[in-house]
């Protein structure tokens, strides 16, 4: 009998597989396909202080082994998420969920974090610092170590639950940003967010999406994500949620060997709504194939 359980900063999970934020709605939408309680947890749709319509259309472009999106954090705002979305999720999902928080200034993050931290359904906060900081010339919080430190510090000041900071790979050294978050008191790191990319329509000779560039995700970015998880595992002493191109049980095991405690599945949910369920179901056979009795024992196993 193999052991799929893991512990994420005190949050006990039956298995390490978690649908990534932005690819699984608020979770309850997928309950029409299967029992979502088989999931380790669910990273909820990115939530901001105020409701957002998002970026202009078109927002999505298909690519080989992936897609580009520039949705722009469309969401109803934190107060409506708490009053409308969480009750719907509670009817379908009995486990603790992961709240994903985004913002455009430090106070945005603090407000959303304090509101969601107080919710009984939420077991962990995931802070997405890949958003443009509108009070600093459009720079993303996640590309500057000082800004990453400030956001992490502010969220930790209002949150009692574990705080994981979600990092962008679009930096010179993702390990340096992770260390800044650790110094600010982060309980864990999530990585990676999408890689910047674009497509051009050959008929119109113009970029496919209205925002010109967007986040590239899907199976093609798996090696990039794996490298980032490996580097950050060596740089900090924090648990990691690894993500980026994960589409199979083998991918999940590989990500854990690189240093991930839990594994998020993103774009594959858009290709196959049963992806997370099927990865979980195939994990025991994959573990037996590679002589693994407990997933907890292989975390970081690829490091010397």
H runs (alpha helix) in 93-203: 106-117, 145-158, 174-183
CB-count burial class (<10 Å; 0-12, 13-18, 19+) for 218: buried
Q: What SS3 class is residue 143?
A: helix
Q: Taking CA 164 as the corner, what is the angle to CA 161 and CA 165, rounded to the nearest 5 degrees?
A: 135
How do strand 195-197 and strand 163-166 relate by DSSP bridges? unpaired
What are the catalytic residues?
A: 131
Report the DSSP beta bridge partners of residue 214.
197
Q: pLDDT by residue (tens digit) across 112-123? A: 999 999 999 999
pLDDT tens readout for residues 67-89: 999 999 999 999 999 999 999 99
Q: Looking at domain 6-55+74-194+217-298, does it have CATH number 3.20.20.70? A: yes
| Residue pLDDT, tens place only, 236-269 | 999 999 999 999 999 999 999 999 999 999 999 9
Tell me the two tokens of residue 296.
Answer: 């907890």
pLDDT at 216 over 80: yes
Where along the chain do its domains lie? 6-55+74-194+217-298
What are all long-range contacts of 158-162, with beta carbons under 8 Å and residues at least 24 apart? 158/110, 158/113, 158/114, 158/117, 159/113, 159/114, 159/117, 159/125, 160/117, 161/117, 161/122, 161/123, 161/124, 161/125, 162/8, 162/9, 162/10, 162/11, 162/123, 162/124, 162/125, 162/187, 162/188
pLDDT 10s digits, 166-178: 999 999 999 999 9
Q: How many helices (H) and strands (E) does the chain have?
A: 9, 15
CA distance 292 to 264: 20
> pTM, whole model, 2 decimals?
0.97
């Amino acid at each position: 009998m193999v052991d799929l359980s893991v512990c994420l900063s005190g949050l006990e999970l039956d298995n390490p597989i978690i649908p990534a934020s932005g690819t699984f709605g608020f979770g309850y939408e997928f309950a029409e396909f299967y029992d979502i309680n088989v999931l380790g947890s669910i990273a909820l749709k990115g939530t901001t202080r105020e409701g957002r319509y998002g970026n202009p259309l078109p927002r999505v472009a298909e690519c080989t082994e992936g897609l580009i999106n520039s949705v722009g954090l469309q969401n109803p705002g934190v107060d409506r998420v708490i009053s409308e979305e969480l009750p719907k999720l509670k009817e379908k999902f009995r486990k603790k969920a992961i709240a994903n928080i985004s913002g455009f200034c430090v106070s945005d993050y603090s407000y959303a974090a304090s509101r969601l931290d107080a919710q009984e359904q939420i077991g962990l906060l995931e802070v997405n610092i890949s958003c443009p900081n509108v009070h600093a010339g459009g720079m993303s919080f996640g590309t500057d170590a000082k800004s990453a430190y400030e956001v992490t510090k502010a969220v930790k000041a209002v949150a009692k639950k574990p705080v994981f900071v979600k990092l962008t790979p679009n930096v010179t050294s993702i390990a340096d940003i992770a260390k800044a978050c650790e110094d600010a008191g982060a309980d864990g790191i999530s990585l990676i967010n999408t890689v910047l990319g674009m497509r051009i329509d050959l008929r119109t000779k113009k970029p496919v999406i209205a925002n010109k560039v967007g986040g590239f995700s899907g199976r093609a970015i798996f090696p990039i994500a794996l490298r980032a998880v490996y580097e950050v595992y060596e740089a900090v002493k924090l648990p990691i949620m690894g993500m980026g191109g994960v589409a199979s049980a083998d991918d999940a095991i590989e990500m854990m060997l690189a240093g991930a405690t839990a594994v998020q599945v993103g774009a594959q949910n858009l290709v196959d709504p049963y992806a997370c369920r099927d990865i979980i179901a195939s994990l025991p056979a994959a573990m037996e194939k590679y002589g693994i009795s407990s997933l907890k024992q292989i975390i970081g196993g690829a490091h010397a």
